[in-house]
Structure 1
């Protein structure tokens, strides 16, 4: 079948890719994440000062008081979680095999929130930094979808990123409120072949560059960053700091990398092999990471780590 020829594809690209998305998720995404040496907790999210962890069970840990509580589980195992500090208690969960659930009580009860999404694996979730009712979902084998009503309805907004002569799977998403000359709101995507981003006008995926993004787009030849992430490596997890939007943390097979300028330059801060990351909404120095050794917590932007008990 010629996927580039609409006449030769009467089912439509969206429909065919939705059918193939489950296959892509089942084969490609676990293989890439396995490069992080295993997954103990496939999803993490800060809900206010509590860390919500999806593992064999769903639980939340109060970082201020130290108490832990087991939560109700959605319809299926969780692959990704998203929460926004302006909507404390509201959680979104991408489910294994496809679909989303929503909780409005901190994970104690759940309901479906995927009306209009393809029946394929949602590989990554992010909530818009400046619009807590706007949600982005990366659908495996398909592209980027958006809900502007907290998951009640969804629409397709962007194909997968084109990197190194092919469309690439999105493994992780982060919304960053960073003034850059194109509206200020960016959706960053970690892919199987590196980092990219798109403004919320969804004009095109592009490299992360210094300075005004519109000027760089018009010039057509933006300067190469001085210290980028390792070229071509998969970005397994990506997290942004709501309280400090210029700060990003990324998990690669080579370790944990950090940026203090919106992803233009990066430095490796730790050799831990993380599969999932989350940054505290009001304290950007506090980072949670899921590793093969369990859930770890850092209070110094990722330099030193301590295990977080899940019991």
Structure 2
């Protein structure tokens, strides 16, 4: 893997979808802004906010082992459960993050200005992984459960892409799902380590029209329902979930607890939601405008969520919450 020195991006390198590029270290002002914004202590100026109003300064949260990562206009890390933060160098604006418990230090970042960046050292240095991807914001990323070199990426306006070599090369895996009479962009992805009945595991996706999932044989998108993928194929039309997520709300973030794959968490405009049975029955854990959510890789009850512009944590699966910051 080629590692690039820290130097400013040129306009040409940003626009070249197939080129490798580097990402500059933040300035002192950016350093402080990133720390405060990610801690929920600073509302970024309008000129610096993401074009998508659903994306805040805490556009993405993820655990890298015990380290909590928060990203948006910049990337920061906390080694003490969100009590303090330190900035990391990295891409200027991140829409999504992905990590894997079997690869500590590996961080994938989906970028607002096209492409994907990869760090193998906890976010200190980065390389591009955009070679072979179409142009467009990378709205969602997931690393396959049990396969840390298998990456799934959703490109806005395009479909679901996959890489089997940690982003060195890409191929189109599946078109976007057809929901409510139109193709829908994938806003968030989660690899869920539960048997599909067809020899693989699930890829769950949140869209503006709700939740859908795909067996990793890439045969078809399916509604979430009791049973496995083979049951859905045999039955034809899928029965509805017993208690689905609220209709008409985009699913902005979706995570599966690696140590308890049936446990899912989702961030919606109505709050933080959870399912304990792989998405059939959902219940709301916390009200508010939720943008992102992260779950610890070995403790399915230890979660963080960006809600109403601040950061909250729960150590009991969302029964109780403590606010770490507020805007």
- The answer to whether the superposition gives a TM-score over 0.5 is yes
Q: Where does residue 25 of structure 2 map in the other structure?
A: none
Q: Where does residue 52 of structure 2 map in the other structure?
A: 30
- Decide whether aligned partners of structure 1 residues 217 and 232 sit closer, same or farther in structure 2, where only a CA change above 3 A counts: farther
- Residues paired across the two proteins, number: 277
Q: Where does residue 212 of structure 1 map in the other structure?
A: 228
1:260 to 276, 295, 302: 276
Unmatched 5+ residue regions in structure 1?
A: 1-27
Give the deviation of 1:114 after TM superposition: 1.4
1:96 to 104, 112, 129: 112
CA distance in 1, matches of 2:202, 2:208: 19
| SS of 1:129 mapped into structure 2 | coil
Give the deviation of 1:253 after TM superposition: 1.8
Unmatched 5+ residue regions in structure 2?
A: 1-49
Give the deviation of 1:111 after TM superposition: 1.0
CA distance in 1, matches of 2:245, 2:166: 33
- Whether the 8 Å contact between 2:95 and 2:111 is mirrored in structure 1 is yes
Q: Where does residue 161 of structure 1 map in the other structure?
A: 177
Q: Is 1:141 aligned to residue 157 of structure 2?
A: yes
TM-score (norm: length of structure 1): 0.84
TM-score (norm: length of structure 2): 0.80
CA distance in 2, matches of 1:124, 1:29: 16
Q: Where does residue 75 of structure 2 map in the other structure?
A: 58
CA distance in 1, matches of 2:237, 2:70: 42
Alignment of 1:73-88 (within 5 A): 73-74=90-91, 76-88=92-104
CA distance in 1, matches of 2:67, 2:199: 31
Q: Where does residue 48 of structure 1 map in the other structure?
A: 65
| SS of 2:206 mapped into structure 1 | strand
CA distance in 1, matches of 2:248, 2:233: 22
Q: Where does residue 126 of structure 1 map in the other structure?
A: 142
1:296 to 312, 319, 326: 312
Give the deviation of 1:65 after TM superposition: 10
Q: Is 1:234 aligned to residue 244 of structure 2?
A: no
CA distance in 2, matches of 1:286, 1:52: 14
- Whether the 8 Å contact between 2:252 and 2:268 is mirrored in structure 1 is yes
- Whether the 8 Å contact between 1:40 and 1:292 is mirrored in structure 2 is no
47-56 vs 79-88, greater mean Cα deviation: 47-56
CA distance in 1, matches of 2:312, 2:82: 17
CA distance in 1, matches of 2:205, 2:136: 19
295-304 vs 138-147, greater mean Cα deviation: 295-304
| SS of 1:217 mapped into structure 2 | helix
Give the deviation of 1:56 after TM superposition: 4.3
CA distance in 1, matches of 2:107, 2:283: 31
Give the deviation of 1:129 after TM superposition: 0.9
| SS of 1:218 mapped into structure 2 | helix
1:139-164 CA deviation, whole Å, 9 max, x = no partner? 10011000110111111111111001
| SS of 1:85 mapped into structure 2 | coil
- Decide whether aligned partners of structure 1 residues 253 and 68 sit closer, same or farther in structure 2, where only a CA change above 3 A counts: closer
